[in-house]
C-alpha cells in the first residue's frame, strides 16, 4: 500500500514529504477551506513541494458534469504533473468521469460508502475510488470491510481501478486497510507520526545510544572512520 497525505496544510505537507515515503497529496473542499488562503497559489505550492511525479488529487466543486469536466481541465492545466480530479459520486459525477476518461484526465471518485458505488465508479472509468473508512465506522458500519469488498470486486472482475482508502482516525484502521489489499491510503499528517511510533522502539534507540556512549563518548561513527 502506498501512502498519500490528506491535507492542504503547506507546513504539514512540507514536513511529511521531507520525512516520509509519500506517493502524493489529496485535498477536498473542506481541507482547502480550512487554510483560508488563495486557492491557486496553494495548489501550485503543493505541486512544487511534492514534485511532478507524485499524484495530486484535487476535488472539483462544480455540480454538473460539464462544470466538473471544466474544473478538471483547468485544474490539470494549473498543477500539471500526475493529476487526478476528485469527483463525488452521483449521476453528474459519473457522466463527468466517462468524459474525462476519453480525454485522458485522471479521475478519483470520492465520497464512496458502498462497494456498489465503487464498482459503478470503476466501470465509468475512475482510476481510483476513495471509500471513507472512519465515517463508515462512525455510523456502526464496517469501513475496513467495505474496503476489503471493493478490493475483492476489482480482483474478481479484473478491473483496473485502484482503491484510495480515506478518512482515518487511528492507525488500526490504516493497518487493517493495508491488509485488505488497498493499493493506496490517504492519511492526515498527524497519523504518520503515530504510525511509526512505538515505546519499545524509543527504548531500543535509547539503549543503543547509552551503550555506544559508555565506550566512545561523544564520538560518532563518522569521526572514528578516518
Ligand atoms: O478526502 C476525504 C477524507 O479527507 C475524509 O476524511 O476525516 O473528513 O472523514 P474525514
Q: Check 11, 34, 86, 101 and give the catalytic one.
A: 86
**Mean pLDDT, to the nearest integer, of 102-110?**
98
pLDDT per position as a tens digit, 85-99? 999 999 999 999 999
pLDDT at 29: 98
26 Cβ below 6 A of ligand 1:
yes
CA of 212 to the centre of ligand 1 (A): 44
| Residue 86, C-beta contacts closer than 8 angstroms, at least 6 positions apart | 26, 27, 28, 57, 58, 59, 60, 108, 109, 110, 130
Residue 31 has pLDDT above 90, yes or no: yes
Helix (H, G, I), strand (E, B) or coil at 217: coil
- Closest residue to atom 5 of ligand 1, CA basis: 167
- Which three cell numbers mark 63? 455540480
What the chain holds in terms of domains, given with CATH numbers, is 2-195 (3.20.20.70), 198-226 (no CATH)
- Closest residue to atom 8 of ligand 1, CA basis: 167
Q: Is 34 within 8 Å of 53 (Cβ atoms)?
A: no
pLDDT at 120: 98
- Closest residue to atom 7 of ligand 1, CA basis: 167
**Is 86 among the residues known to form the active site?**
yes
Amino acid at each position: 500500500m502506498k501512502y498519500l497525505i490528506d491535507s492542504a496544510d503547506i507546513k504539514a505537507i512540507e514536513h511529511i514529504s521531507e520525512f516520509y515515503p509519500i506517493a502524493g497529496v489529496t485535498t477536498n473542499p473542506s481541507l482547502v477551506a480550512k487554510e483560508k488562503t488563495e486557492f491557486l497559489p496553494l495548489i501550485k505550492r503543493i505541486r512544487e513541494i511534492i514534485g511532478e511525479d507524485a499524484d495530486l488529487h484535487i476535488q472539483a466543486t462544480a455540480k454538473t458534469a460539464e462544470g466538473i469536466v471544466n474544473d478538471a481541465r483547468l485544474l490539470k492545466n494549473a498543477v500539471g504533473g500526475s493529476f487526478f480530479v476528485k469527483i463525488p459520486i452521483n449521476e453528474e459525477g459519473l457522466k463527468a468521469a466517462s468524459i474525462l476518461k476519453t480525454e485522458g484526465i485522471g479521475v478519483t471518485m470520492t465520497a464512496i460508502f458502498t462497494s456498489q458505488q465503487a464498482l459503478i465508479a470503476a466501470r465509468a472509468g475512475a482510476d481510483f475510488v476513495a471509500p471513507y473508512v472512519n465515517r463508515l465506522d462512525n455510523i456502526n458500519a464496517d469501513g475496513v470491510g467495505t474496503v476489503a469488498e471493493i478490493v475483492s470486486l476489482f480482483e474478481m472482475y479484473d478491473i483496473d481501478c485502484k482503491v484510495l482508502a480515506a478518512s482515518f482516525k487511528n492507525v488500526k484502521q490504516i493497518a487493517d486497510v493495508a491488509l485488505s489489499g488497498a493499493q493506496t491510503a490517504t492519511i492526515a499528517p498527524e497519523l504518520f507520526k503515530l504510525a511509526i511510533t512505538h515505546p519499545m522502539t524509543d527504548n531500543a534507540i535509547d539503549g543503543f545510544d547509552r551503550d555506544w556512549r559508555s565506550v566512545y563518548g561523544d564520538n560518532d561513527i563518522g569521526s572514528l572512520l578516518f
